[in-house]
Every structure is written in structure tokens, then in C-alpha cells.
Amino acid sequence: MKKIMIDADKCDGCLNCTLACMNAHRADGGDICSLRLTDLQNESRNVIHILPDGSYRPVFCRHCAEPECVNSCMSGALHKNPETGIVEYDEKKCAACYMCVMNCPFGVLKPDDQSRTKVIKCDFCKELGGEPSCVKACPKQAIWVEEVQA
Amino acid sequence: MRHLIIGASAAGLTAAKTIRSIDRDCEITVVSKDDKVHSRCMLHKYLSGERTAEGISFVPEDFFQENRIEWISGAEVQTVNAVGKTAALADGRTLSFDRLLIATGAQYVVPPVPGLRGAANLYGFRDLSDAEAIDRASQPGSRVVIIGSGLVGMDAAYALLDRGILPVVVEMAERILPLQLDDNAASAYQERFERAGCSFRLNAKAASAEVDENANITAIVLDDGERLPCDYVIIAAGVKPAVGFLDGTPVKPDLLIRVDDHLRTPVEDIYAAGDAAGLSGIWPNAMKQGITAARNMCGEDECYTDLYAMKNTINFFGLTALCIGNINVPGPNADVYIEEDHLNYRKAVVEDGVLKSILLQGDISGGGIYQYLIKNRIRLPYTGSELFRLSFAEFYGFDETSGKYVWQV
């Protein structure tokens, strides 16, 4: 299965991946120049954390082999696709109980800020095709897609 | 190999799916009282009218065909013959098995209040059939008393408010959601429910029920003498494992089934998972127990280790909360940290540098790391209210072969 691999040492905290993710998931479409950074609807699926020593830790959904989020989902909204390995999320099925938020040990998942009716979850930019937008936007090759054993 | 699973909820169906993923050829039969697969955590969405019965299923429509599972629905298992390896159904049929999983869940308890037991208009809120019965009993303007303000009682209240029914909730504790929340967090929800038309009687006990000649409750009388007239009553005062059908069998030598770390009952080839196993009563743990039991039923060797069950999330009126551990009883050497702003209330209990419990109300983003810290008793890098800003970054490790994150502690 394909995975977004990470070299935290290469990350210089430019947040291009975060902006690319926000832009890829905006409802109104358009290019990055028109992305409204303060619009609550434009949320990123990844977070770049800054540590006190000035280094960065990119936190991206791992699409885990044994996903705690899927194993806690009481609505059937979260599902691991056995072919692609992607942990898929169906917003329409979701009951916004947030058991998945409580169970993701890496703190990747969060409720949407605007309505608290869905989860903000990496979809590998599946609908856009090609590589995930974050990977395309990284100027440091700190994140890349690689085929790994499940 | 013939696998029989009793129960079609979180543990049962997760086990069925897991067995099929391991063994393409075995026979799998699920037998359940439920005639529709439904998520018990979504009953309020059915009762409020937001979703249909099909809309609260937690598996795809073609689940049973896709996984080649025979499903005997609407059928009750009357007893299990542990020696002959058969299960007898109430309709007279007998099912044989090589491996059996008991995943019958839990049933609601009716407290010993005079008049309650046996009343015709007393409903639990546990199964879809309960929600359907409440739906049929509900008229615009129905007067409803809900006994218990745990998550089940509040879910029922939330759904009724959506239909324009304004229930009265009776709670013995001094606050609503007493196990999950403290007074401060509970009052934030109480205000929202009251604004929507719900009323509460806290520190109150149902002392008796007035019953008419048709066995219908007409009023609940509280211990202070107050009389709450009602058209029906919802009981949400706790549950117990639904394992009565095993009375007198070696599977359940005393009041409860006791499973070992492989989720085996005392009888070989008979396993239990979910609420029926009595280990913990929440959905995620039931699913994980279903997976572990299934693997062991297929001859694998897996221990169930995730015993931590004192955790929950709440979402009413768009106000979210996450609560892990007992926030209300800090030990004598505990430090309690509280942080509040107009959108958030946060509280943490720390003992000897280890997080014991946490309550987040408002923004719960990324709160999953706290469960990991509490469950694994991990020493915090720092304490004080800065711990509310902790993230996985502080424990970041990355496996370059698998691409998995690894906790560095």
C-alpha cells in the first residue's frame, strides 16, 4: 500500500503542505491565491508542530494497518479499503460521536471547527487523482509517497 | 469449521467479518434478536426522525452476502448445550457449532421502584425495538419522564426535544452525566437542554410510580413528594450483560461470564466479547474484542489488552466533550489543573507526573493522545496547564520501513 513517508529532519516548517491540504479540500474551489486562510471551512488534515528547540514534527494520518479510528466507529463511516489501504471516511454516514478523535493515538483526527458534525480526515486526495496535494507542495522532499508493506 | 455468533452488534458483526477475512472457507452463522442491524449509539437519530432504521446501520447493505454470512434474524437463543455444542432457538430450531461467540450485549435494568416493573408504558432505550416503541407512543405534546441522565437518558431527551416533546429528566446525582463530567462541564450541557425546553430534577429519586388499571404509569412520584404526570416513562438507569439464557450452563457458573485474556469462557471453544463479556461497556472496546475473539476462534493466539474503558465523547448542540478517567475523584496526592475561556473548559488530574484523567469541553481536537498517555501511564514531559497543549510531536518517532508512527517515551 502507498503511504506518505516523512523525514522530520528535512521539514523547515514552511506549511506549504498545510496550505495545499486546505486548498485541496475547500468547498468553493480555486487556486491557492484565493484561499481564504481564516475561513473555518478550510481546514487542513495535517499539522506541522513546532517544538521548543525550533524543530518541526509533521503529523499526518498514517492510514494505519489496524486503525483505531475504524475500530471505534459506531456508524460505519470509517472504513479501511483493503485494496488501497486508505482509511476512507463517509461524511454522510458519520454521526459525529467523535469516538475516533478519542481513539487516534497520534491525535490526528479532529471535529470540524465550524459545525461539529463531521471529522477532518486525510483522504489521500483520492478524488483529485495523482499524488496527495501536501506531497506535491513540499519544497524540501520532507514528505513523499512510497509503497510499503501493510 | 462452523462458527456461530450470537448477537449482531459491534462485537458480533466485527467478529464475523474478521473470521471471514482469516478463513475463506468456514461457515459463519449469526443469530440475533435484532431483525435490523443497527448502531445502538445512533438510536437518538432514529427517534428524532433524522434517520430511518436503515440509516442507523453500521455495516454496508450487502454485508452478509459480501462476507458469506448466514444471518438468522429475529431469533432468540434459549440455551446453549456446551457438551453437545448446540444452541437451541426459541422457535425450536437447533444450531450446531465448532466455535461459539457470545456477543449478546447488554439489557437495561429496571430499578426496584414500586409500580415501574411490568408497566405497559415503560421503555428502555437500548435496542431499535425500544426506539420504535417510543416512536409509536409519542404524540405532539406527550408528557415524558426520563429516569437517569447518563448518555442513554440524555440521548433520548435530545431526540425527543427534536420532535417537540419536552421531557423531564430525573437524576439521583447532583449533576447530569455524572460519571463523565464535573459540575462545571455538566452545567454547560444542562443550560443548553433547558433552553431547548427540557427540565431536570437533580438530587432526586423516583420513589414510586402511579399506575392505572391498564398497567400504564400516569405519574412518577419523587422522594420529595413531587408528582410528575406522564404519558410514558423512559428508563435509563444502567444496564447489565444480556446473558440470562446461559443460566445453569458451565459457560456462566455465576452471575456473569468470566473470560480469560483470550476472551475464552470456562468452556472450550466458547468465547465472549462486548458487553456480554462484562469487560467494558463501550463501542470501540466491543469492536476490538470482536476482532481478538475472532482471531482466537480461528486458531490464532492473541491476548486482549485494551482494558481501559473509562472514556467517552459527548456531542450535544454542537458542544463537544471528551472525558477519560475519573475526573471527579482525584487521589490525595493529585494536582488538578483547570483552564477556561469562553469556548473551552479543560480539566486534568495529574499524579506523580502521570496523567490520571482529563476532561476537554469545547475543542477536543487531537485529544486521542491523552487516552494513550493515561492508558499507558506515561510520564508527562511537563505538567501545569501547558499539558493542554501537548501533542504527539513531543513523543514523535517514525519507523522508516513501515511508515508508522512510534511513541517515544
Interface pTM, i.e. ipTM:
0.96
* Residue count (chain A): 150
Are A74 and A117 within one domain?
A: yes
The CATH number that applies at residue B367 is 3.30.390.30
Are B131 and B228 within one domain?
A: yes
Tell me how crowded residue B146 is: count the other CB atoms within 10 A of its CB. 28
Are A54 and A66 within one domain?
A: no
Residue B307 lies in a domain: no
Contact indicator for B369, B381 with CB cutoff of 8 Å:
no
**Count: domains in chain B:** 3
Are B152 and B256 within one domain?
A: no
Residues of B in contact with A50 (CB under 8 A): 393
Are A28 and A49 within one domain?
A: yes
Q: Taking CA atoms, what residue in B is nearest to A113? A: B363
Q: Range of A82's domain?
A: 62-121
Are B130 and B227 within one domain?
A: yes
Are B172 and B277 within one domain?
A: no
Are A54 and A68 within one domain?
A: no
The CATH number that applies at residue B194 is 3.50.50.60
pTM of the model: 0.95
Contact indicator for A5, A145 with CB cutoff of 8 Å:
yes
Are A56 and A1 within one domain?
A: yes
pLDDT in tens, chain B (409 residues): 999 999 999 999 999 999 999 999 999 999 999 999 999 999 999 999 999 999 999 999 999 999 999 999 999 999 999 999 999 999 999 999 999 999 999 999 999 999 999 999 999 999 999 999 999 999 999 999 999 999 999 999 999 999 999 999 999 999 999 999 999 999 999 999 999 999 999 999 999 999 999 999 999 999 999 999 999 999 999 999 999 999 999 999 888 899 999 999 999 999 999 999 988 779 999 999 999 999 999 999 999 998 888 999 999 999 999 999 999 988 889 999 999 999 999 999 999 999 999 999 999 999 999 999 999 999 999 999 999 999 999 999 999 999 999 999 9
Are B228 and B249 within one domain?
A: no
Are B216 and B147 within one domain?
A: yes
**Distance separating alpha carbons of residues A121 and A132, to the nearest angstrom:** 13
Are B330 and B360 within one domain?
A: yes
Are B272 and B365 within one domain?
A: no
DSSP states along B278-307: TS--SHHHHHHHHHHHHHHHTT--------
Cβ distance of A51 and B283 shorter than 8 Å: no
Q: Range of B328's domain?
A: 318-395
Residues of A in contact with B57 (CB under 8 A): 76
Give Cα separations from B169 to A5, A19, B115, B202 (angstroms).
Answer: 51, 47, 18, 8
Looking at the complex, report in whole angstroms how far the Cα of residue B112 sits from the nearest Cα belonging to chain A: 32
Are B324 and B289 within one domain?
A: no
Are B232 and B245 within one domain?
A: no
Are B151 and B216 within one domain?
A: yes
Residues B374-400 as b or e (16 or more Cβ within 10 Å = b): bbeebebeeeeeebbebbbbbbbebee
Q: What is the signed CA dihedral for A100, B243, B133, B41, rounded to 10 degrees?
A: 0
**Count: domains in chain A:** 2
Are B219 and B232 within one domain?
A: yes
Cβ distance of A102 and B322 shorter than 8 Å: yes
Chain A stretch 57-76, residues whose beta carbon is closer than 8 A to a beta carbon of chain B: 57, 59, 62, 64-65, 68, 71-76
State phi, psi for A78 to the nearest 5 degrees.
-100, 140
Residue B13 lies in a domain: yes
Query: The C-alpha cell of B243 is what?
Result: 446473558
Residue B302 lies in a domain: no
The CATH number that applies at residue A136 is 3.30.70.20
List, in sequence order, every residue forming a beta bridge with A110; answer none if it has no partner. Answer: A120
